[in-house]
């Protein structure tokens, strides 16, 4: 994600969860990497205070994770861009269905500013933690983040129903376009569980020769009164942990990457998966050419909504 739409058109229909759910968790995972690596303090609630603190830590400690030194930030340029985006959003939302536009504008502009700052610091990076939120914005949605239960419940009725009730105290992420429909999600306990499993792997699977498989991770969680299916563990815990770059896997299981050899083992394992998947993709492209009149799968795949 290198660019932000300067003149977006806000979505005029109900915000589909597919637009924002995965991307929002991708954003949180990028922030959360800092907590996993730089602080072993356990996570209680993932509230606004924790979220804000992570934003701050990312900006300040980014040099720990980036290859290049940070560049100076042109604050005048950022101020000018903020004003342009703010005025554009005010214009788009003033004819909308919702009165309290300021909440949405302030939060969205805050994110845009963070993205601009990080991009100024590291123009070539692929690791900008706010890029996933910019993608959501480019799809025509503004957002609001809050842990105030009453405020969130007033905006999105029913968000705390059912099993979500147990996550009250965590941040909620709400989105809207120009219409009156608001969608959103409340952050569940996956980040707390990621901390638990990360520390477990760091101690019990310190390298590629001492691995722990999914079954053992599941048993470990059960011992800690946490019941999850293997699929849930993969989606919510182990795959995000691998994306930090500090947890690897091989055919035998998961491990903490502590040296070059660990990194190589995990890299080669994933490379073999990519090669295997590429064979499948190549077959689909052949079929698209032969049987479906040169249908451009790549182009269609990039615009699923």
Residue numbers of the site for another protein (CB under 8 A)?
Answer: 34-35, 38-39, 41, 44, 47-50, 52-57, 59-61, 70, 73, 75-76, 78-79, 82, 110, 113-114, 117, 121
Q: Which helix (H) or strand (E) holds 33?
A: helix 17-38
Tokens of 163: 């099993």
Nearer to another protein (CB atom), residue 62 or residue 183: 62
What is the DSSP code string of 227-247?
---HHHHIIIIIHHHHTTTSE
What is the DSSP code string of 267-289?
HHHHHHHHHHHHHHHHHHHHHHH
Nearer to another protein (CB atom), residue 47 or residue 207: 47
Nearer to another protein (CB atom), residue 54 or residue 233: 54
Contact residues for 82 (Cβ-Cβ < 8 A; gap 6+): 109, 112, 113, 116
Give least dist CB 272 to another protein, A. Answer: 36
Give least dist CB 27 to another protein, A. Answer: 15
Give least dist CB 122 to another protein, A. Answer: 11
Beta bridge partners of 255: 248
Q: At what angle do helices 75-94 and 101-121 cross, to 10 degrees?
A: 150
CA 293 remoteness from chain centre: 37
Nearer to another protein (CB atom), residue 129 or residue 140: 129
Nearer to another protein (CB atom), residue 2 or residue 44: 44
Give least dist CB 35 to another protein, A. Answer: 6
Give least dist CB 48 to another protein, A. Answer: 8
Give least dist CB 235 to another protein, A. Answer: 24
Q: Checking DSSP bridges between strand 254-256 and strand 172-176, what pairing results, if any?
A: unpaired
**Among the listed residues 107, 109, 111, 103, the one whose alpha carbon sits nearest the alpha carbon of residue 87:** 109
Q: How far apart are CA 208 and CA 265, in angstroms?
A: 7
Nearer to another protein (CB atom), residue 52 or residue 166: 52
């Amino acid at each position: 994600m290198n660019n932000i739409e300067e003149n977006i058109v806000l979505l005029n229909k109900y915000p589909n969860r597919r637009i924002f759910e995965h991307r929002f968790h991708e954003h949180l995972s990028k922030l959360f990497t800092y907590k996993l690596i730089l602080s072993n303090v356990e996570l209680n609630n993932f509230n606004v205070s924790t979220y804000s603190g992570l934003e701050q830590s990312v900006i300040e400690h980014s040099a720990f994770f980036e290859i290049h030194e940070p560049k100076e930030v042109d604050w005048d340029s950022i101020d000018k861009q903020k004003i342009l985006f703010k005025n554009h959003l005010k214009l788009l939302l003033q004819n909308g269905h919702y009165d309290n536009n300021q909440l949405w504008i302030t939060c969205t502009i805050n994110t845009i500013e963070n993205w601009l700052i990080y991009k100024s610091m590291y123009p070539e990076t692929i690791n900008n933690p706010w890029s996933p939120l910019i993608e959501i914005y480019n799809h025509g949605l503004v957002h609001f983040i809050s842990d105030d239960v009453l405020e969130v419940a007033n905006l999105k009725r029913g968000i705390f129903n059912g099993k979500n009730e147990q996550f009250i105290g965590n941040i909620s992420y709400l989105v809207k376009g120009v219409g009156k429909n608001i969608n959103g999600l409340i952050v569940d306990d996956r980040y707390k569980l990621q901390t638990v499993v990360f520390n477990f792997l760091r101690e019990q699977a310190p390298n590629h020769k001492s691995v722990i498989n999914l079954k053992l991770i599941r048993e470990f969680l059960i011992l800690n009164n946490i019941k999850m299916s293997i699929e849930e563990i993969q989606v919510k815990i182990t795959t995000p942990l691998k994306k930090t770059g500090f947890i690897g896997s091989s055919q035998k299981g998961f491990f903490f990457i502590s040296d070059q050899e660990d990194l190589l083992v995990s890299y080669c394992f994933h490379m073999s998966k990519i090669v295997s998947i590429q064979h499948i993709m190549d077959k689909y492209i052949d079929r698209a050419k032969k049987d479906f009149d040169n249908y451009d799968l790549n182009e269609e795949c990039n615009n699923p909504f």
